């Protein structure tokens, strides 16, 4: 029984250190500058938008909870201290993304970028959005970094990888796709 417990502790430690290593490698990339970050919005309770959803009215959308606002502040503070400056912030038009961008990157005006919105089952709309995002990523060249605040389904569709709320995925354009360079977990 003791051997099983020690094996469990060892495996947990290895998994934990792997996540920590990945996060540290992500920060090292962002200290270099010139990178693009797909950032999943901070914690907003629930899943999916209400049936009365209106893109222009935050009262009809999932918004950040107190925990989500605290998470967004922490993300911004870490970007301020651990990365090269953020030059530009683009955001989905959904309120949980705009709130995350405004709280985390308060010194920047978050630019609403409709291509970062989820499209549901509309394949034609998704292809247009995907092309716009990839073009934006490919055209970014700066000493600082660019952050694109978006949703799990957008990050998954672009990279093939899921992201937790408040997780950052660092990407670069390779042809007509995005390649994941690193990740940062804020929790």
For 54, 63, 68, 96, 118, the CA distances from 41, given in Å and listed in that order, are 18, 10, 8, 6, 13
pLDDT at 9: 37
**Percentage of the chain lying above the pLDDT 70 cut:** 88
Q: Which residue has tokens 């034609």? A: 124
From the number of C-beta atoms within 10 Å of its C-beta (0-12, 13-18, 19+), residue 5 rates as: exposed
pLDDT number for residue 5: 40
Listing DSSP states for 46-78 in one string gives SSS--TT--TT-GGGS----HHHHHHHHHHHHH
Give the HSE-up count for residue 29: Cα atoms under 13 Å, Cβ half-sphere.
Answer: 21
Residue 10 pLDDT: 37
Within 10 A of 160 (CB to CB), how many other CB atoms are there? 10
Q: What is the CA radius of gyration of the chain?
A: 17
8-state DSSP, 84:
S
State pTM to two decimals: 0.87
- How distant, in Å, are the alpha carbons of 14, 24, 184 from that of 20? 10, 6, 9
CATH number assigned to the domain covering 2-184: 3.40.50.1240
Of 26, 65, 24, 28, the C-alpha closest to 46 is 65
Residue ranges, the chain, pLDDT below 70: 1-22, 187
Q: What pLDDT was estimated at residue 53?
A: 87
Phi/psi of residue 117, nearest 5 degrees: -75, 145
**What tens digit of pLDDT does each residue of 39-65 get?**
999 999 888 787 888 999 989 999 999
The DSSP 8-state label assigned to residue 166 in this structure reads: T
47 φ/ψ angles, rounded to the nearest 5 degrees: -145, 140
Domain ranges of the chain: 2-184
Helix (H, G, I), strand (E, B) or coil at 183: strand
DSSP for 1-21 reads -HHHHHHHHHHHHHHHHHHHH
The per-residue pLDDT for 120 is 87
């Amino acid at each position: 029984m003791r051997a099983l417990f020690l094996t469990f502790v060892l495996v947990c430690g290895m998994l934990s250190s792997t996540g920590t290593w990945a996060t540290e490698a992500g920060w090292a990339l962002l200290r270099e500058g010139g990178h693009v970050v797909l950032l999943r919005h901070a914690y907003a309770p629930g899943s999916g938008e209400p049936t009365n959803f209106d893109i222009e009215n935050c009262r009809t959308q999932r918004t950040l909870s107190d925990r989500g606002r605290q998470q967004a502040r922490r993300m911004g503070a870490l970007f301020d201290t651990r990365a090269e400056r953020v030059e530009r912030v683009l955001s989905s038009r959904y309120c949980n993304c705009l709130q995350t961008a405004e709280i985390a990157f308060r010194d920047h005006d978050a630019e609403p970028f409709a291509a970062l919105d989820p499209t549901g089952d509309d394949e034609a709309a998704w292809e247009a959005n995907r092309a716009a995002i990839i073009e934006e990523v490919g055209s970014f060249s700066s000493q600082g970094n660019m952050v694109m605040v978006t949703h799990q389904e957008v990050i998954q569709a672009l990279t093939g990888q899921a992201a937790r709320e408040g997780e950052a995925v660092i990407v670069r354009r390779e042809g007509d796709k995005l390649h994941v360079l690193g990740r940062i977990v804020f929790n």
